[in-house]
Amino acid sequence: MDEKDSWRVCWIVGPKTVISSMESAGSFLEGGANHPLQIAAIPFLDPTKFKNEAKSLQRHFQAKRDYVLKRLDKMGLKVKVPPNATFYIWLDLCHLPEPINIGLNFFEECLKEKV
């Protein structure tokens, strides 16, 4: 299965009142997963399958993160604290010329360049 064919099915563990509220919110916001999709997701609850899937996702996002960090470095854009466990990267813009040394201005220029 490639990325365009992926599913998003979630589960929650907690007090009944919290779960009931989450069900209502989920149903209201996006309708929730249909029954056949829920049935098809059951094998993924197997601990071995789940761990393998989690490791695969971690490798995938690590490769993306590492690629972006290398590209930013090649472009001379500084990352003071590279992420270890996430793919969120906090870029230091202070060395860039005005006005793109401010987050919102930088973001708007990135949009213009279709970044």
Q: What own/partner pairs with CB < 8 Å and gap ≥ 24 does 38-46 have?
A: 38/9, 40/7, 41/7, 41/9, 44/9, 45/11
CA 63, CA 55: separation in Å to the nearest integer? 12
> Is the distance from CB of 33 to CB of 9 less than 8 angstroms?
yes
| Per-residue pLDDT tens digits for 37-57 | 888 888 888 889 889 988 998
DSSP secondary structure string for all residues of 16-56: HHHHHHHHHHHHHHH----HHHHHHHGGGGSHHHHHHHHHH
Sorting pLDDT into bands at 50, 70 and 90, what band is 32? low
Does residue 104 surpass a pLDDT of 90? Answer: yes
CA 33, CA 42: separation in Å to the nearest integer? 13
Does residue 7 surpass a pLDDT of 80? Answer: no
Instruction: Please state, rounded to an integer, the average pLDDT across all residues of the chain.
Output: 84
| Per-residue pLDDT tens digits for 59-88 | 999 999 999 999 999 998 989 899 987 778
Specify the higher pLDDT residue, 101 or 12.
101
Query: What is the rounded average pLDDT of the residues 4-14?
Result: 72
CA 34, CA 62: separation in Å to the nearest integer? 31
With pLDDT > 90 as the criterion, what percentage of the chain qualifies? 37
Does residue 29 surpass a pLDDT of 80? Answer: no
Does residue 22 surpass a pLDDT of 70? Answer: yes
